[in-house]
Amino acid sequence: MSAIVLNFSTLKNNRFYILVLFFCILPLVLVGTFPEYFYREFEIGYFLVFHNVTEIFSVIVSFSIFGLGYYSFSQSRNSHTLFLGVGFLAVGLIDFMHTLGYKGMPDFVTPNSGNKSSQFWIFSRFITSLVLFSAIYIQPNTKYKFVKERFLLLFTFLVVGVIFLLVIFLNEWIPDTYVQGKGLTPFKKNAEFVIIAILFFALLLYRKASFYTSRRQIQYYLSAFVVCIFSEMVFAVYTSVYDVYNVIGHLYKIGAFYLIYKAVFIAAINDPYEQLIQSNRLLSDEIEENKVYAEMIKKSLREKENLIAEIFHRTKNSIQLVRSILMIQASDFPDDKNIQAIVENTSVKIQTMSLVHDHLYANKDLSEIKVSAYLESLADMVRQAYPPIGKKININFQIGEGSLLLDTAVPLGLIFTEILSNSFKYAFRNVTVGEILISFTFRESICYFDYKDNGVGLPEEFDLSNQKKLGLSLAKIIAEKQMGGTLSIDGTQGFQLKLSFPSDLYKRRV
């Protein structure tokens, strides 16, 4: 099957070249075989109309090639098409001067003649062949020091200016190319053969080039060389500037320029545009795939969040169940104050941990909780656990905006409930109004927690390192070992605790 497709593709390519050769050979065969029917010399008025139309068309095509190669360079960075475009700018300008200098047209600066227009023609054809030959060595995606837009433009206008001066004002410096009544000079014929040779070698080189973007582009280039060669052959043998061979030569020239335009258009516009379409298609497909993956990820995240929230909820319930079991067990010993005190303290700590999970379950962010809401909830819990009888205890919060991760919030809550419970139980025995000030601030990655009350303070012989009771010594262990912070206590004027710890000791889990 692949062999059949390959043969069909080869046949299709050969058909294109066969059509081009047929277009080139048929007119010459008809004129050469039946000169009495096809060869003629046209009147100057009719021929000038044809000549002006064909030359202006070729000038427009030349300028179009220049526009494609020059103005697409900033995006395509195709040095090959830039070089061709600027080269055909020179060809178009000289062809325009050839049209204005043609015999029968109003004088172009100096009297017009067949020799004058033929000299412009030879210069134009030489530049065309040299540009096409040289372009084979200009790789599309390679940077060259001399292939710069301004430099090439300046060089082009310089060359065109020199040719204008030579043909118009220094005509004696150039060999004659056409003599009225005699036809073409040997110089003109030899020059055409040299141009044909350059085009032929360019044709051979282009066949081996490997930088083409598509098969169509090489087809257009090779066909353009073939048509150019036929055009130069015709212009090497005509005897009158108004005869049928001149007409055929101009038709060949139009065909060749059109093919070159198509080749440059493919390289400068068509192929990059098709690549852009293909890239957009691939990008669209990738975006659609990413949308599907994004929905899958969102669904997975929602499921994960729901699962974690459910875990927090169940953890809270489990902790409360443990607390209830302890309370039930303690009810069997209503007269044992030690057991009741232990259960009471343990119950407060259990509720402290339970509140963390309660906040996380109610929060959109399952990794962290707001410090202000958490500490205020703990304060309400302690007030309910140890209601002050006959006293008024004011709790003042000075808490900055910020959140803590679960791994830091739990130990902070345990420390806070421990010292707040102590204040409610022991600090305000001899006063009717107690004041507690709680401050929490964030400074870069360090958190500062300050606690102060105006109670009785601590005994003078109090030493935190020698405490056998679990309360404050547990707070110090939690602060240093679990939170990676430092804790200090002062009990001389009321009770004061200072705690500082890093907020980035643990990483987010969700």
CATH at 276: 1.20.1070
Q: Specify the pLDDT at position 1.
A: 42
> In terms of domains, do 224 and 200 share one?
yes
Average pLDDT, the chain: 79
- Out of 264, 288, 312, pick the residue that ends a domain: 288
Say if residue 30 is in the same domain as residue 50. Answer: no
Task: Please determine, for residue 7, whether its predicted confidence score (pLDDT) is greater than 50.
Answer: no
pLDDT on residue 192: 83
pLDDT of residue 51: 82
CB atoms within 10 A of CB 285: 10
Give the number of other Cβ atoms within 10 Å of residue 193's Cβ. 13
Q: Is residue 352 part of a domain?
A: no
250 found inside a domain: yes
Residues 117 and 235 in one domain: yes
- Highest mean pLDDT of the ranges 7-16, 138-147, 326-335, 416-425: 416-425
Q: Is pLDDT of 219 > 50?
A: yes
- Whether 435 maps to a domain, the answer reads yes
Instruction: Using a pLDDT cut of 70, give the percent of the chain over it.
Output: 76
What's the pLDDT at 162? 94
The b/e string for 228-267 (b: 16+ C-beta within 10 A; e otherwise) is bbbbbbbbbebebbbbbbbbbbbbbbbbbbbbbbbbbbbb
> What pLDDT, on a 0 to 100 scale, did the predictor assign at position 500?
92
Q: Are residues 4 and 78 in the same domain?
A: no
Q: What average pLDDT score do residues 224-247 get?
A: 77
DSSP letter at 108 equals B
Give the pLDDT of residue 31: 82
pLDDT tens, residue by residue, 277-299: 677 777 777 888 888 888 888 77
Region class of 284: left (phi > 0), else alpha (psi between -120 and 50), else beta = alpha
Is residue 33 located within the same domain as residue 48? no
For residues 55 and 188, membership in a common domain is answered with yes
- Render pLDDT for 317-346 as a digit per residue (tens, 0 to 9): 656 666 566 666 666 666 666 666 666 666
Q: Are 91 and 16 contained in the same domain?
A: no
Please count the other Cβ atoms lying within 10 Å of the Cβ belonging to residue 460.
7
Task: Single out the residue in 227, 259, 288 at which a domain terminates.
Answer: 288
Q: What is the band of 158 on the pLDDT scale with cuts at 50, 70, 90?
A: very high
- Same-domain status, 141 and 276: yes
pLDDT confidence tier of residue 465, bands split at 50, 70 and 90: low
pTM value > 0.75: no
Residue at 149 is within a domain: yes
**pLDDT tens-place string over residues 178-197:** 787 777 788 888 888 898 88
Assign 452 a pLDDT band (cuts: 50, 70, 90): very high
- Of 28-42, 84-98, 436-450, the poorest mean pLDDT is in 28-42
Same domain flag for 19 and 76:
no
Which among 66, 131, 129 is positioned nearest to 92, based on CA atoms? 66
Flag whether pLDDT at 450 surpasses 90.
yes
The tally of domains found in the chain comes to: 3
In a domain, 136, yes or no: yes
164 lies in the same domain as 21: no
Does any domain span residue 442?
Answer: yes
Please report which confidence band the pLDDT of residue 353 belongs to, taking 50, 70 and 90 as the band edges. low
Q: Both 71 and 126 in a single domain?
A: yes
In a domain, 323, yes or no: no
Q: Could you tell me if 116 and 22 lie in one domain?
A: no
115-149 in b/e burial notation, b at 16+ Cβ within 10 A?
A: bbbbbbbbbbbbbbbebbbebbebebeeeeeebee
Task: Mark which of 242, 257, 288 sits at the end of a domain.
Answer: 288
Domain span including residue 29: 1-39
Out of 217-221, 357-361, 373-377, 498-502, pick the least confident: 357-361
Tell me if 149 sits within 8 A of 82, measured CB to CB.
yes
Domain membership of residue 63 (yes or no) is yes
